[in-house]
């Protein structure tokens, strides 16, 4: 049996002293580097007395010495250590230890406790294979000027690696790098990934020649704080003891043979001042036992927690396929009933709708995806008010997520209460959004924080102290909540554009008195023609206790867009007169005429008409499709065949008997393209111009359209802004916001009216 202690040879002591003197340490310094309670083992080491084998090796490692050259009569290999380990093949030992620790690993890693679900869930039932970014987005170098003009879609890609950065599977990353630090944003699935690795290893599906060991680093740090000793070896030995493995040499044999998969979870959860000692211990332990696999997880924002000789990678956002796979598993774990499978299909279908784009941008994060599934499961639909869902996401980030797992963080906010944190984020959002900035340099964001902090009671007065506070608060916001994220080096943004928009709207709604609210709403409405403010309008309308004042202000500003142009007023008067003819809502008809004038040779915008009257929208849209096909001049067979098909489709949906008869007569003139292609092509070349004119005439007569409206490019732009602003107003009214019925009816009746009729309505009222 190999010796459990070692002592230095005379020549080894001389080598150790030379190295010790070069470093300029004291014995207390060296004891601290090895996390020893006293310097007695150091004194014994330098005097050639026996000390515990692990401590001897650690001292040599810190002094950058080969312990075999320092020790007196060192053992040949540690595989000979221990009575149980003697003469046992390492493969047999791995299987034996895995068998003894089977229940332990299953209890540690086999289940998850999902938020708001009152029972544990098997990890195999919910886990989705993650992808890994080998290049850390936040470590790229870019100028802030390169980022400001990005679209909202591109915004979500910056720093997320959704498009531009290469991705590999999580398993491939572990197989590629023996020492790996896996970074990820809050809720990205870091812990779940480690638990999955532990279970797969324990079942022999991954790293079958190794023993999985899963350690929650905050528990290890608590043990270190209580015992005063930071030793992973001793901690794991104690953990082995709970599985009935009492012989300490078993663990050392596994480690020396490289037969351990060590999974260390939550480096960012270790509080100061233990974090430095824990990081040093991970580094030393991984260097002492280099043959093993090491995986450490940490939040992306905790970049100062660098571990030497570890490779950093980051968990990538979920792809659409991963989102779909997760949803199917999520709904399946609640119940095996067929209705749950149907709900999963409905969830994906509705998530893909254009009106749910805001949700799709959030659910690339597994935590928010779980929340979206939970909300959909309870209501069988997504929230009609986006603000409600954003608030739930923020509740998770601002405390509930850490609290659910018993995590305590360093208090860098100096006693900030939740309302103060929300006000700070709202102030940052308002300052940056007003300037049109989605990305901002670190110095800029720290100045916003400083401006807020200096107005608080007992705020520091010294500029240097205030600056340090601002730096600490920014780090805390990024690390603890993930609301602000360093997208590339030195450049920050809100982690999701939706959060910046939500806090911007919250700043408006949270105005401290009625006068301030009126001023804030007036300022908001001044941006009604700017597309980037669209979501702010919808969120503000949803968050106000009464949205009457907002929608009335919007209507006033919308009417003012075209009020000063006589020609546009004449056009609106014409559209208003035409709206009195069909037996459908006048506002719907006015919207149809407006949309048809926007682009007579391209697909028109019928969204406004659709909102006001679905049936009319369908009729007009199909008529316009026929017109679009017929107006083409190409005589080729494919185009002619497409026009014939479009005409057949129109006949199915057109309800007007006169138009239907006319279209049927025109269809009867066409040869059957399925019977004789050559005959059809010959007829089309000879007759398509005259036939097309008849078709256009029939549709024009049906709509009673005049084709003599000619708008300048500037007027077309004004009409487009007017049209879009009216659409936004309707979207606000239909967003389930709090608007009285009288105000709603008043606005809907006055939509798209010319100024003269609006003034007459006001006079009558």
Q: What is the CATH number of the domain that holds 491?
A: 1.10.10
61 and 112: one domain? no
588 and 665: one domain? yes
More confident residue, 180 or 405: 180
In a domain, 765, yes or no: no
Average pLDDT value for residue range 471-489: 80
500 and 627: one domain? no
Residue 271 pLDDT class (50, 70, 90 cuts): confident
Beta bridge partners of 214: 263
In a domain, 548, yes or no: no
pLDDT at 352: 87
CATH of the domain at 157: 3.40.50.300
Average pLDDT value for residue range 548-566: 94
pLDDT at 213: 96
In a domain, 174, yes or no: yes
Q: Which of 72-86, 150-164, 237-251 has the highest mean pLDDT?
A: 237-251
In a domain, 515, yes or no: no
* Domain end among 256, 288, 315: 315
Task: Return the residue matching tokens 């991705």.
Answer: 167
Concatenating the DSSP letter of every residue in 231-254 gives -HHHHHHHHHHTTT---HHHHHHH
Work out whether strand 484-488 and strand 491-494 pair parallel, antiparallel, or are unpaired: antiparallel
Query: Does a cis peptide bond (omega within 30 degrees of 0) precede residue 273?
Result: yes
More confident residue, 455 or 409: 455
pLDDT at 123: 92
149 and 66: one domain? no
Q: Is the pLDDT assigned to residue 66 strictly greater than 90?
A: no
Q: What is the mean pLDDT of the chain?
A: 79
* Domain end among 286, 315, 344: 315
Task: Return the residue matching tokens 């919808």.
Answer: 538
Query: Could you tell me the residue range of the domain that residue 334 belongs to?
Result: 320-404
Beta strands in 134-284 (DSSP E): 167-169, 179-184, 211-216, 260-265
In a domain, 397, yes or no: yes
* Domain end among 488, 510, 532: 510
295 φ, ψ (degrees, to nearest 5) = -130, 120
> 102-110 long-range contacts, Cβ below 8 Å, gap at least 24?
102/202, 103/243, 104/239, 104/242, 104/243, 105/198, 105/199, 105/202, 105/212, 105/214, 106/199, 106/202, 108/195, 108/198, 108/214, 109/194, 109/195, 109/196, 109/198, 109/199, 109/202, 109/214, 110/195, 110/199
Instruction: Please answer whether residues 594 and 608 qualify as being in contact, where contact means their C-beta atoms are separated by less than 8 angstroms.
Output: yes
The set of residues, in sequence order, having a beta carbon less than 8 Å from that of 62 and lying 6+ positions away, is 30, 33, 34, 284
Alpha-carbon distance of 165 to 430, in angstroms, equals 31
pLDDT at 588: 53
Cα distances (Å, whole numbers) of residue 439 to 137, 403, 477: 14, 30, 16
pLDDT at 260: 96
pTM: 0.66
303 and 334: one domain? no
Average pLDDT value for residue range 260-277: 88
329 and 278: one domain? no
Work out whether strand 440-441 and strand 167-169 pair parallel, antiparallel, or are unpaired: unpaired
Residue 607: exposure state from Cβ atoms within 10 A (0-12, 13-18, ≥19): middle
359 and 452: one domain? no
Range with lowest mean pLDDT among 102-111, 309-318, 684-693:
684-693
Residue 406 pLDDT class (50, 70, 90 cuts): low
192 and 245: one domain? yes
Spatial CA neighbour of 265 closest among 109, 475, 111, 410: 109
Work out whether strand 293-299 and strand 179-184 pair parallel, antiparallel, or are unpaired: parallel
More confident residue, 537 or 5: 537
Q: Is the pLDDT assigned to residue 259 strictly greater than 60?
A: yes
122 and 37: one domain? no
Concatenating the DSSP letter of every residue in 614-676 gives HHHHHHHHHHHHHHHHHT-----HHHHHHHHHHHHHHHHH---HHHHHHHHHHHHHS--TTT-
Residue 100 DSSP code: H
Alpha-carbon distance of 441 to 338, in angstroms, equals 51
pLDDT at 157: 41
Alpha-carbon distance of 569 to 308, in angstroms, equals 71
More confident residue, 337 or 165: 165
pLDDT at 76: 61
Concatenating the DSSP letter of every residue in 371-384 gives HHHHHHHHHSS--S
More confident residue, 700 or 426: 426
178 and 326: one domain? no
Average pLDDT value for residue range 472-493: 81
Angle, helices 497-509 vs 418-434, to 10°: value is: 100
Residue 105 pLDDT class (50, 70, 90 cuts): very high
Range with lowest mean pLDDT among 35-39, 140-144, 158-162, 587-591:
158-162
In a domain, 760, yes or no: no
Residue 281: exposure state from Cβ atoms within 10 A (0-12, 13-18, ≥19): buried
Q: Is the pLDDT assigned to residue 263 strictly greater than 70?
A: yes
The set of residues, in sequence order, having a beta carbon less than 8 Å from that of 299 and lying 6+ positions away, is 183, 184, 185, 186, 190, 268, 479, 482
Q: Which of 116-130, 162-176, 252-266, 672-686 has the highest mean pLDDT?
A: 252-266
Terminal Cα-to-Cα distance of the chain (whole angstroms): 103
Other CB atoms within 10 Å distance of the CB of residue 751: 21
In a domain, 526, yes or no: no
169 and 232: one domain? yes
pLDDT at 602: 31
Alpha-carbon distance of 137 to 152, in angstroms, equals 18
Alpha-carbon distance of 49 to 28, in angstroms, equals 18
pLDDT digits (tens, 9 = 90+) for 133-184: 988 765 554 454 555 555 444 444 434 434 456 789 999 999 899 999 999 8
206 and 241: one domain? yes
In a domain, 545, yes or no: no
Residue 201 pLDDT class (50, 70, 90 cuts): very high
Q: Which helix (H) or strand (E) holds 33?
A: helix 27-33
More confident residue, 46 or 704: 46
Instruction: Please answer whether residues 109 and 121 qualify as being in contact, where contact means their C-beta atoms are separated by less than 8 angstroms.
Output: no
Q: Is the pLDDT assigned to residue 556 strictly greater than 70?
A: yes
Residues above pLDDT 90, as percent of the chain: 29
Alpha-carbon distance of 663 to 424, in angstroms, equals 64
Domain count across the chain: 5
Spatial CA neighbour of 161 closest among 535, 485, 428, 490: 485
pLDDT digits (tens, 9 = 90+) for 622-651: 455 454 454 444 455 666 666 777 777 666
Q: Is the pLDDT assigned to residue 539 strictly greater than 90?
A: yes
pLDDT digits (tens, 9 = 90+) for 409-425: 555 555 677 788 888 99
pLDDT at 397: 76
Q: Which two tokens stand for residue 47?
A: 């005097």
């Amino acid at each position: 049996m190999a010796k459990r202690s070692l002592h230095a040879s005379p020549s080894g002591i001389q080598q150790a002293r030379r190295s010790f003197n070069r470093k300029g340490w004291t014995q207390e310094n060296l004891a601290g580097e090895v996390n020893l309670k006293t310097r007695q083992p150091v004194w014994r080491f330098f005097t050639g007395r026996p000390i515990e084998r692990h401590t001897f090796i650690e001292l040599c490692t810190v002094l950058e010495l080969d312990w075999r050259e320092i020790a007196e009569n060192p053992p040949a290999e540690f595989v000979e250590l221990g009575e149980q380990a003697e003469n046992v093949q390492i493969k047999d030992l791995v299987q034996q230890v895995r068998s003894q620790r089977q229940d332990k690993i299953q209890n540690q890693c086999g289940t998850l406790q999902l938020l708001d679900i009152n029972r544990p869930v098997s990890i195999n039932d919910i886990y989705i294979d993650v992808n890994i970014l080998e290049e850390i987005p936040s470590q790229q170098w870019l100028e802030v000027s390169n980022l400001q003009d990005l679209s909202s879609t591109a915004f979500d890609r910056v720093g997320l690696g959704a498009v531009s950065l290469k991705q590999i599977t999580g398993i491939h990353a572990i197989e590629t790098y023996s020492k790996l630090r896996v970074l990820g944003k809050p809720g990205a699935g870091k812990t779940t990934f480690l638990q999955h690795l532990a279970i797969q290893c324990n079942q022999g599906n991954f790293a079958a020649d190794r023993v999985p060991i899963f350690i929650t680093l905050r528990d290890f740090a608590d043990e270190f704080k209580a015992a005063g000793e930071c030793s992973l070896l001793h901690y794991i030995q104690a953990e082995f003891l709970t599985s009935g493995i009492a012989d300490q040499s078993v663990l050392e044999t596994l480690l020396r043979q490289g037969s351990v998969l060590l999974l260390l979870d939550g480096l960012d959860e270790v509080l100061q001042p233990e974090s430095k000692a824990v990081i040093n211990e991970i580094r030393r332990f991984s260097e002492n036992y280099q043959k093993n696999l090491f995986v450490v997880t940490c939040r992306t924002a905790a970049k100062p927690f660098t571990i030497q000789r570890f490779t950093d990678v980051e968990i990538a956002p979920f792809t659409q396929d991963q989102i779909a796979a997760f949803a199917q598993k999520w709904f399946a774990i609640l119940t095996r009933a067929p209705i749950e499978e149907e709900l999963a299909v409905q969830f994906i279908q509705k998530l893909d709708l254009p009106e749910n784009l805001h949700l799709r941008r959030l659910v690339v994060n597994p935590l928010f995806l779980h929340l979206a599934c939970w909300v959909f499961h309870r209501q069988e639909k997504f929230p009609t008010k986006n603000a409600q869902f954003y608030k739930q996401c923020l509740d998770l980030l601002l405390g509930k997520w850490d609290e659910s797992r018993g995590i305590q963080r360093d208090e860098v906010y100096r006693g900030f209460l939740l309302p103060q944190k929300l006000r700070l984020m709202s102030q940052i959002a308002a300052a940056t959004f007003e300037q049109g900035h989605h990305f901002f340099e670190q110095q800029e964001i720290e100045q916003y924080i400083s401006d807020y902090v200096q107005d608080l009671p007992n705020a520091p007065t010294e500029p240097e102290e205030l600056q340090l506070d601002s730096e600490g608060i920014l780090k805390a916001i990024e690390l603890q909540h993930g609301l602000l994220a360093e997208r590339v080096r030195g450049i920050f943004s809100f982690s999701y554009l939706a959060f910046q928009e939500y806090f911007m709207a919250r700043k408006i709604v949270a105005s401290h008195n009625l006068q301030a609210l009126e001023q804030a709403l007036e300022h908001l409405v001044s941006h009604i023609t700017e597309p980037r403010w669209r979501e702010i309008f919808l969120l503000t309308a949803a968050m106000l206790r009464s949205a009457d004042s907002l929608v009335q202000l919007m209507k006033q500003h919308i009417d003012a867009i075209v009020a000063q142009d006589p020609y546009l007023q004449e056009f609106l008067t014409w559209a208003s007169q035409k709206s009195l003819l069909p037996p459908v809502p006048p506002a719907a008809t006015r919207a149809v005429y407006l949309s048809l004038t926007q682009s007579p040779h391209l697909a028109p915008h019928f969204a406004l008409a659709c909102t006001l009257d679905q049936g009319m929208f369908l009729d007009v849209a199909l008529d316009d499709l026929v017109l679009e096909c017929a107006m083409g001049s190409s005589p080729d067979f494919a185009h002619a065949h497409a026009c014939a098909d479009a005409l057949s489709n129109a006949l199915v949906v057109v309800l007007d008997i006169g138009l239907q008869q006319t279209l049927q007569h025109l269809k009867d003139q066409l040869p059957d393209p399925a019977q004789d292609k050559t005959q059809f092509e010959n007829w089309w070349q000879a007759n398509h111009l005259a036939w097309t004119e008849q078709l256009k005439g029939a549709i024009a007569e049906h709509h009673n359209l005049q084709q003599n409206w000619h708008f300048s490019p500037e007027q077309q732009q004004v009409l487009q802004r007017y049209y879009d602003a009216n659409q936004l107003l309707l979207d606000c009214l239909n967003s389930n916001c709090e608007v009285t019925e009288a105000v709603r009816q008043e606005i809907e009746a006055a939509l798209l009216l010319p100024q003269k009729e609006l003034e007459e309505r006001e006079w009558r009222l």
